[in-house]
Structure 1
Amino acid sequence: MKSPAALRHSLHERLYHEARAYAGDADRPLAAYTGLMGTYATAVLATAAAARATRRPLPAPGLWDVTLSALATHQLGRLVAKDPVTSPLRAPFTRFEGTSGPAELDEEVRGTGARKAIGELLSCPFCTGLWIATGITAGTLFAPRATRLATATLSALAAADLLHFARAALQRAAGETS
């Protein structure tokens, strides 16, 4: 029978070879992704345990709540991943490349391992969406009024951004016809 150290080494070798077989020559930090998934799962389980321990009733979100949460998740995801003001959060994990749209930055993920995985998470609005939506859900459990206020505010900002884009498009169209 193998010793625990030999079993760990054997498992490590198998995981390493599977990661190489999956990624080929690409730098895919699977171990770091696994760590991020573990962090997310731990946060969800801790939230569920705290809700149960405090006997929080599960909310029954209606269509309006889901709409506000979706708009807020979208808007906060864009703010975290693309906004110039939040670039200090991403700076340890990304490199500034330029702008990619109105009030949005184009950044390249840098580093390897956990640094790269966190950079990919923080610079991708789609990737941050799950974490943000989960945070909003936790907020509806523990601070429903404050969470609803925050989601309403972020939703209003999303609608305002849409109006900015619509106005700019109308101005471009009017300029093209004159």
Structure 2
Amino acid sequence: MKITFLNLLILSLATFRLTRLLVFDKITEFIRNPFFDEIKEENEDGEMEVYYLPKKTGVKKFFGELLSCYWCSSIWAAALIVALFYLSPAISVPILLILAVAGIASILELVVQYFIEK
């Protein structure tokens, strides 16, 4: 199967969105929680700040480290997306398009927020 520029763009945007979904989004917090310890500290202004540190040992440490690293997670997300694209294009293309469109929407939202805050 030949990768066209459009395919590469869709795969890239889908990888971007899937990675953000796994690493940052609130709706997937339940996936990340078993791999992190939550540390609460009071800052100089008296506000509570929450830090998430990967577990200390074993498989939970591995996945905690992986999920705390956007770059690391994106490699695995890209591998999953490309594998799905090649192994089952009929099933994966609609899912990848949804992720890609959501990725574009995320980027556009960042741009809009940037100009609103100025």
Same-fold status (TM-score > 0.5):
yes
Greater relative CO, 1 or 2 (CA 8 Å, sep 6+): 2
Aligned position for 1:14:
none
Rounded to whole Å, the distance in 2 between the matches of 1:71 and 1:81 is 15
TM-score using structure 2 length: 0.80
Which protein is bigger by CA-based radius of gyration?
1
Question: Are residues 138 and 153 of structure 1, via their aligned partners in 2, closer, same or farther at CA, if it must alter by over 3 Å?
Answer: same
Structure 2 residue 70 is the aligned partner of structure 1 residue 125: yes
Task: Tell me how far 1:97 sits from its aligned partner.
Answer: 5.6
Change (3 A) 1:84 1:97: farther
Q: Work out the CA distance in 2 between the residues paired with 1:153 and 1:142.
A: 18
CA distance in 1, matches of 2:66, 2:39: 17
How far, CA to CA, are the matches of 1:115 and 1:67 in structure 2?
33
Q: How many residues align?
A: 109
Give 1:47-126 correspondences, 5 Å limit: 59-96=1-38, 107-126=52-71
Q: Which residue of 1 aligns with 2:43?
A: none
Structure 1: which 5+ runs fail to align? 1-58, 99-104, 174-178
Structure 2: which 5+ residue stretches go unaligned?
Answer: 41-49
Match of 1:24 in 2: none
User: What's the CA shift string for 1:97-155, capped at 9, x where partnerless?
Assistant: 68xxxxxx963212213221111112322112222111112212221022221221111
| In structure 2, C-alpha distance between the alignment counterparts of 1:126 and 1:60, rounded to whole Å | 26
Q: 1 CA distance for matches of 2:71 and 2:22?
A: 11
Decide whether the 8 Å contact of 1:80 with 1:125 is kept in 2: no
Runs (4+) of structure 1 exceeding 3 A deviation are: none
Tell me if structure 2 keeps the 8 A contact 1:93–1:111.
Answer: no
* % identical aligned pairs: 27
CA RMSD of aligned residues (A): 2.0
Give the TM-score of the pair, scaled to structure 1.
Answer: 0.55
The equivalent of 2:82 in structure 1 is 137
DSSP-derived class of the 2:56 partner: coil
